[in-house]
């Protein structure tokens, strides 16, 4: 616990990058173009917010860092797959991601489709191929938890709800429903899978972490909406102002900037409060929370 | 074992349909459109060849039929997801599947994309959410096996290789490489996951089944290529003559019809031979093999 937050976060990011670099199929492995596109879409970019949450939660639970690295990588692969598919012409039709051309621009649409598909599959392969929990039954539960968080009643469902809501006026509860699924579910899985790499935490403690993760997931989205309004494309590394342009309901469009900022602050406070029972061991989770709220991209 | 093949196959198909009907999210579950599209793409169609193989292999191993139903459903969901994505405009751009409009025609491209994504996720959720093997460690291996068979070094990789080969002349080994991945890997997983629902078979017996599954997988594709040449769109329930139209290398384009028929017969023979050590217990696998070879659609 002696490292400052920035050094700790860098070491987590390096661990994830090194692991994914070694674990993703090599560029000379047939079919080469698909494997190049998979590596292009995953490596060398992103804030790795979800992995940071997995590490922070896993360390809180005293879990083995190799296990945490693998679950963090699996969650990040699900996130990366969703970005590749989200950027396709039939979805957000975006050309810029993490400051680089999106996968279908750099390669082609068919390759981007198969890239997303294969990244999702690899996430589940990672979660099953070696022991990641104190009991194999717990590991099966972790796999089911990631699947539930990613599928039609989680992330993909949130994206579908988002599609259906373009051009519509959503109520605040509807917007919240959308984000609890679209981004919240995977953030929650990142926290919970990290924590479950060890069996040390009680069910009561896991429930507190889950509540923490819900607050952080919503806070992440409120800040995302604020950044889309306030930041520039160059800073974001993705197209800014997209939500307004696509007439998408956001926290900013529904609440206005000032109230959206207040909501982010309230969620930050609630997230910290959920960690009150953990004392010093929750330091990293608190730091990641503040990092998510204060980020500029 | 007293049922004739047709009655046995119907009972397996009914089991799968009933299970999937109950397990797929309901049409009134938010997001409704996505859940409708998922059900549309999975229910009420298809020969269910892969589930039949899972049932035949599972029964050979003396496995519990509820377990077999679930692994068979998971494999079928992976198959269904691959069809939905394969039919998209950026891939095969097809409008007809199982005699109905393809998912993106009936709904829209974005919904079809998310439908395929969510069907894949659901496959892994099914494999993790309840006990399916005598030991949880074996179940984790089954999940890893399905992931390997489905991802970039399996089915999706075969599709990418297929994309790269359009308009090219492939050698017979290259064509075989493509099909071992594109269709063979999932057929192999269907057999092996069915068998592994019980721990009764020895490693040697599992290796024999694996060899059987490889022969059946290739035979399936050779017959598919023959049907694409010889059958009509009405019989197939999907567009016939597509391979030649897209200038795709097939067993027929490389070997000619007559040699392709001989190859199918040889693979059928090899598949039967691989089952020689199993006696009467392999009856259903033999029957499914012959059904695959003799099918007209």
Answer yes or no: do B31 and A121 touch at CB < 8 A. Answer: no
How many residues would you count in chain B? 297
Which residue do the tokens 């197939």 mark?
B236
**B26 Cα to chain A: minimum distance (Å):** 11
More confident residue, A239 or A38: A38
pLDDT, position B248: 79
Please tell me the distance from the alpha carbon of residue A92 to that of residue A75, in angstroms, as a whole number: 22
- Band (pLDDT 50/70/90 cuts) for residue B230 is confident
Vertex B266: Cα angle to B265 and B272 (nearest 5)? 90
Compute the average pLDDT of residues B135-164.
Answer: 97
Please tell me the distance from the alpha carbon of residue B248 to that of residue A226, in angstroms, as a whole number: 49
Q: Which of A139, A147, A150 sits opposite B140 (nearest CB)?
A: A139
**Residue A25 DSSP class:** P
pLDDT at A240 over 70: no
Structural domain count of chain A: 1
Task: Write out chain B residues lying below 8 Å of A136, CB-based.
Answer: 135-137, 139-140
**Which residue range is the domain that position B255 belongs to?**
5-294
- Band (pLDDT 50/70/90 cuts) for residue A144 is very high
Task: Write out chain A residues lying below 8 Å of B177, CB-based.
Answer: 30
**A156 Cα to chain B: minimum distance (Å):** 6
Residues A8-36: tens digit of each pLDDT: 999 999 999 999 999 999 999 999 999 99
As separate numbers, helices (DSSP H) first and strands (DSSP E) second, chain A gives 16, 2
CATH of the domain at A161: 1.10.600.10
The complex's ipTM works out to 0.95
Task: Write out chain B residues lying below 8 Å of A160, CB-based.
Answer: 31, 33-34, 111, 114
Q: Which of A81, A114, A129 sits opposite B159 (nearest CB)?
A: A114
Answer yes or no: do A91 and B113 touch at CB < 8 A. Answer: yes
The neighbour count for residue B34, using CB atoms within 10 Å, is 28
End-to-end CA distance of chain A: 26
More confident residue, B245 or A115: A115
pLDDT at A230 over 70: yes
CB pairs below 8 Å between A and B: how many?
A: 155
Answer yes or no: do A147 and B121 touch at CB < 8 A. Answer: yes
pLDDT, position A233: 65
Chain B residue with CA closest to A81: the answer is B117
Q: Which range, of B39-43, B45-49, B56-60, B203-207, averages the lowest pLDDT?
A: B45-49
Task: Write out chain A residues lying below 8 Å of B93, CB-based.
Answer: none
In angstroms, the Cα distances linking B159 to A33, A110, B83, B176, B184 are 12, 10, 11, 13, 12
Encoded tokens for B297: 């659609």
Task: Please list the alpha-helical segments (H only) found in chain B.
Answer: 5-23, 32-42, 49-60, 65-86, 103-106, 109-129, 136-150, 155-165, 172-179, 185-195, 203-230, 233-236, 242-245, 251-255, 257-274, 283-294
Q: Which of B29, B113, B143 sits opposite A143 (nearest CB)?
A: B143
What are residue A101's DSSP bridge partners? A96
Q: Which range, of A125-134, A232-241, B168-177, averages the lowest pLDDT?
A: A232-241
C-alpha closest to that of A145 among A98, A88, A75:
A75
Q: Which of A26, A29, A84, A90 would you mutate first to test chain B, the one with the most B CBs within 10 A?
A: A90
pLDDT at A1 over 70: no
- Band (pLDDT 50/70/90 cuts) for residue B293 is very high
pLDDT, position B5: 96
pLDDT, position B98: 87
Vertex B172: Cα angle to B237 and B93 (nearest 5)? 35
pLDDT at B297 over 80: no
For chain B, give the percent of residues with pLDDT over 70: 95
Residues B185-199: tens digit of each pLDDT: 999 999 999 999 999
The neighbour count for residue B55, using CB atoms within 10 Å, is 29
Encoded tokens for A7: 């050094």
Which residue do the tokens 């659901």 mark?
B122
Please tell me the distance from the alpha carbon of residue B235 to that of residue B96, in angstroms, as a whole number: 12
pLDDT, position B85: 98
The neighbour count for residue B258, using CB atoms within 10 Å, is 9
Answer yes or no: do A147 and B164 touch at CB < 8 A. Answer: no
pLDDT, position B296: 77
Q: Coil, helix or strand for A96?
A: strand
Answer yes or no: do A25 and B152 touch at CB < 8 A. Answer: yes
pLDDT, position A101: 97
pLDDT at B285 over 60: yes
Answer yes or no: do B124 and A143 touch at CB < 8 A. Answer: yes
Residues A87-126: tens digit of each pLDDT: 999 999 999 998 899 999 999 999 999 999 999 999 999 9
Q: Which of B31, B117, B121 sits opposite A164 (nearest CB)?
A: B31
Q: Report chain B's mean pLDDT, rounded to a whole number.
A: 94
**B20 Cα to chain A: minimum distance (Å):** 15
């Amino acid at each position: 616990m002696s490292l400052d937050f920035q050094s700790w976060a860098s070491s987590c990011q390096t661990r994830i990058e090194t692991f994914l670099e070694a674990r993703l199929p090599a560029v000379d492995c047939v079919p080469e173009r698909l494997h190049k596109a998979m590596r292009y879409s995953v490596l060398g970019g992103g804030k790795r917010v979800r992995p940071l949450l997995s590490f922070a939660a896993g360390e809180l639970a005293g879990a083995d860092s190799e296990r945490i690295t693998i679950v963090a990588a699996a969650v990040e692969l699900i996130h990366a797959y969703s970005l590749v598919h989200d950027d396709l012409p039939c979805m957000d039709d975006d050309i810029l991601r993490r400051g680089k051309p999106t996968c279908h621009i750099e390669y082609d649409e068919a390759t981007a489709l198969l890239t997303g598909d294969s990244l999702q599959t690899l996430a589940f392969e990672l979660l099953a191929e070696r022991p990641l929990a104190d009991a194999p039954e717990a590991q099966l539960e972790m796999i089911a938890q990631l699947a539930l968080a990613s599928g039609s009643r989680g992330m993909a469902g949130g994206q579908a709800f988002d599609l259906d809501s373009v051009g519509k006026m959503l109520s605040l509860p509807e917007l919240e429903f959308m984000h609890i699924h679209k981004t919240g579910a995977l953030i929650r899985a990142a926290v919970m899978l990290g924590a479950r790499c060890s069996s040390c935490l009680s069910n009561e403690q896991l429930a507190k972490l889950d509540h923490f993760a819900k607050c952080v997931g919503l806070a992440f989205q409120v800040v995302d909406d604020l950044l889309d309004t306030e930041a520039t494309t160059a800073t974001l590394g993705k197209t800014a102002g997209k939500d307004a342009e696509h007439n998408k309901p956001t926290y900013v469009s529904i609440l206005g900037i000032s109230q959206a900022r207040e909501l982010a602050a309230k969620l930050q406070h609630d997230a910290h409060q959920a960690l009150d029972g953990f004392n010093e061991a929750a330091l990293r989770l608190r730091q990641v929370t503040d990092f998510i709220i204060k980020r500029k991209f």
